[in-house]
Amino acid sequence: MKSSFKIFLKANERIFINGAVLRVDRKVSLELLNDVQFLLENHVLQAEDASTPLRQLYFIVQVMVMSPSDKETALPLFRESLPALINTFSDQTILSDLKHVDRLVREERYYEALKTIRGLYDIEAEILGNNPPSAGLMDNEPRLKAVGG
Protein backbone atom coordinates (compact mmCIF):
# COMPACT_ATOMS: atom_id res chain seq x y z
CA MET A 1 0.00 0.00 0.00
CA LYS A 2 1.40 3.37 -0.99
CA SER A 3 1.42 6.14 1.53
CA SER A 4 0.45 9.67 0.64
CA PHE A 5 1.35 12.84 2.51
CA LYS A 6 0.12 16.32 1.59
CA ILE A 7 2.30 19.32 2.47
CA PHE A 8 1.40 22.99 2.15
CA LEU A 9 4.25 25.45 1.66
CA LYS A 10 4.28 29.26 1.70
CA ALA A 11 6.14 31.40 -0.83
CA ASN A 12 9.93 31.16 -0.38
CA GLU A 13 9.61 28.29 2.08
CA ARG A 14 12.06 25.40 1.81
CA ILE A 15 11.58 21.68 2.21
CA PHE A 16 14.32 19.08 2.43
CA ILE A 17 13.46 15.86 0.56
CA ASN A 18 15.88 12.94 0.51
CA GLY A 19 18.77 15.36 1.00
CA ALA A 20 17.65 17.79 -1.71
CA VAL A 21 16.67 21.35 -0.79
CA LEU A 22 13.65 22.71 -2.62
CA ARG A 23 12.40 26.30 -2.39
CA VAL A 24 9.01 27.29 -3.75
CA ASP A 25 8.39 30.72 -5.24
CA ARG A 26 4.69 30.82 -4.43
CA LYS A 27 2.17 29.18 -2.13
CA VAL A 28 1.94 25.55 -3.16
CA SER A 29 0.75 22.17 -1.99
CA LEU A 30 2.79 19.05 -2.60
CA GLU A 31 1.54 15.53 -2.35
CA LEU A 32 4.26 12.99 -1.68
CA LEU A 33 2.99 9.76 -3.22
CA ASN A 34 5.64 7.41 -1.89
CA ASP A 35 7.83 7.08 1.16
CA VAL A 36 10.51 9.77 1.21
CA GLN A 37 12.56 11.36 3.96
CA PHE A 38 11.63 15.01 4.32
CA LEU A 39 11.93 17.88 6.73
CA LEU A 40 10.05 21.16 6.67
CA GLU A 41 12.11 24.32 6.97
CA ASN A 42 10.37 25.43 10.18
CA HIS A 43 11.41 22.14 11.80
CA VAL A 44 15.11 22.57 11.05
CA LEU A 45 17.18 22.97 14.20
CA GLN A 46 20.39 24.98 13.89
CA ALA A 47 23.49 23.45 15.51
CA GLU A 48 23.80 26.34 17.97
CA ASP A 49 20.24 25.65 19.17
CA ALA A 50 20.98 22.01 20.02
CA SER A 51 21.51 23.08 23.62
CA THR A 52 19.66 20.37 25.54
CA PRO A 53 20.00 16.58 25.48
CA LEU A 54 16.80 16.05 23.46
CA ARG A 55 17.61 18.84 21.02
CA GLN A 56 21.02 17.25 20.50
CA LEU A 57 19.34 13.93 19.70
CA TYR A 58 16.97 15.76 17.34
CA PHE A 59 19.93 17.35 15.57
CA ILE A 60 21.56 13.95 15.05
CA VAL A 61 18.40 12.52 13.48
CA GLN A 62 17.97 15.69 11.45
CA VAL A 63 21.40 15.13 9.89
CA MET A 64 20.18 11.73 8.65
CA VAL A 65 17.34 13.46 6.78
CA MET A 66 19.09 16.56 5.49
CA SER A 67 22.38 14.96 4.55
CA PRO A 68 21.88 11.28 3.71
CA SER A 69 25.57 10.99 2.79
CA ASP A 70 26.37 11.70 6.46
CA LYS A 71 23.95 9.06 7.76
CA GLU A 72 26.75 6.54 8.32
CA THR A 73 28.45 9.06 10.61
CA ALA A 74 25.28 10.19 12.38
CA LEU A 75 23.85 6.73 13.08
CA PRO A 76 26.65 5.60 15.44
CA LEU A 77 26.34 8.92 17.27
CA PHE A 78 22.60 8.28 17.62
CA ARG A 79 23.35 4.77 18.91
CA GLU A 80 25.68 6.23 21.56
CA SER A 81 23.42 9.14 22.55
CA LEU A 82 20.12 7.29 22.90
CA PRO A 83 21.20 4.85 25.66
CA ALA A 84 22.84 7.74 27.52
CA LEU A 85 19.54 9.63 27.44
CA ILE A 86 17.55 6.60 28.50
CA ASN A 87 19.92 6.14 31.46
CA THR A 88 19.75 9.86 32.28
CA PHE A 89 16.02 10.59 32.29
CA SER A 90 13.62 9.08 34.78
CA ASP A 91 10.44 10.66 33.37
CA GLN A 92 8.33 7.76 32.06
CA THR A 93 6.87 9.71 29.13
CA ILE A 94 10.34 10.63 27.92
CA LEU A 95 11.63 7.08 28.40
CA SER A 96 8.70 5.56 26.53
CA ASP A 97 8.99 8.04 23.67
CA LEU A 98 12.76 7.58 23.42
CA LYS A 99 12.25 3.85 22.98
CA HIS A 100 9.68 4.66 20.29
CA VAL A 101 12.20 7.02 18.62
CA ASP A 102 14.73 4.19 18.59
CA ARG A 103 12.24 1.96 16.77
CA LEU A 104 11.36 4.71 14.29
CA VAL A 105 15.02 5.37 13.47
CA ARG A 106 15.67 1.65 12.97
CA GLU A 107 12.74 1.65 10.53
CA GLU A 108 14.14 4.81 8.88
CA ARG A 109 10.99 6.75 9.75
CA TYR A 110 12.95 9.87 10.58
CA TYR A 111 10.17 12.45 10.20
CA GLU A 112 8.08 10.61 12.79
CA ALA A 113 11.13 10.27 15.06
CA LEU A 114 11.77 14.01 14.84
CA LYS A 115 8.11 14.78 15.54
CA THR A 116 8.21 12.53 18.62
CA ILE A 117 11.37 14.21 19.93
CA ARG A 118 9.87 17.69 19.37
CA GLY A 119 6.87 16.59 21.41
CA LEU A 120 9.16 16.04 24.41
CA TYR A 121 10.70 19.51 24.44
CA ASP A 122 8.20 20.96 26.94
CA ILE A 123 8.69 18.10 29.40
CA GLU A 124 12.46 18.43 29.07
CA ALA A 125 12.27 22.21 29.61
CA GLU A 126 10.24 21.68 32.75
CA ILE A 127 12.73 19.11 34.05
CA LEU A 128 15.80 21.17 33.21
CA GLY A 129 14.46 24.62 34.00
CA ASN A 130 11.70 24.62 36.55
CA ASN A 131 12.52 21.64 38.75
CA PRO A 132 15.61 20.37 40.51
CA PRO A 133 17.57 17.80 38.46
CA SER A 134 16.35 14.90 40.60
CA ALA A 135 12.78 15.53 39.43
CA GLY A 136 13.40 13.95 36.06
CA LEU A 137 17.11 13.80 35.46
CA MET A 138 19.60 11.84 37.51
CA ASP A 139 22.25 14.02 39.20
CA ASN A 140 25.25 11.82 38.40
CA GLU A 141 24.83 11.70 34.59
CA PRO A 142 26.84 14.09 32.42
CA ARG A 143 25.12 16.39 29.93
CA LEU A 144 25.78 15.72 26.26
CA LYS A 145 27.87 18.18 24.29
CA ALA A 146 26.29 20.05 21.36
CA VAL A 147 26.56 18.26 18.05
CA GLY A 148 27.42 19.89 14.75
CA GLY A 149 29.47 22.81 13.74
Sorting pLDDT into bands at 50, 70 and 90, what band is 76? very high
Measure CA of the first residue to CA of the last residue in the chain; give whole Å.
40
Sorting pLDDT into bands at 50, 70 and 90, what band is 102? very high
Q: What is the mean pLDDT of the chain?
A: 85
HEC-encoded secondary structure of 32-43: ECCCCCEEEHHH
Domains of the chain by residue range: 5-43, 47-135
Contact 93, 120 (CB under 8 A): yes
Residue 44 has pLDDT above 70, yes or no: yes
Q: How far apart are CA 110 and CA 118, in angstroms?
A: 12
Per-residue pLDDT at 107:
94
Q: Considering the chain, what percentage of its residues have pLDDT values greater than 70?
A: 85
Sorting pLDDT into bands at 50, 70 and 90, what band is 18? confident
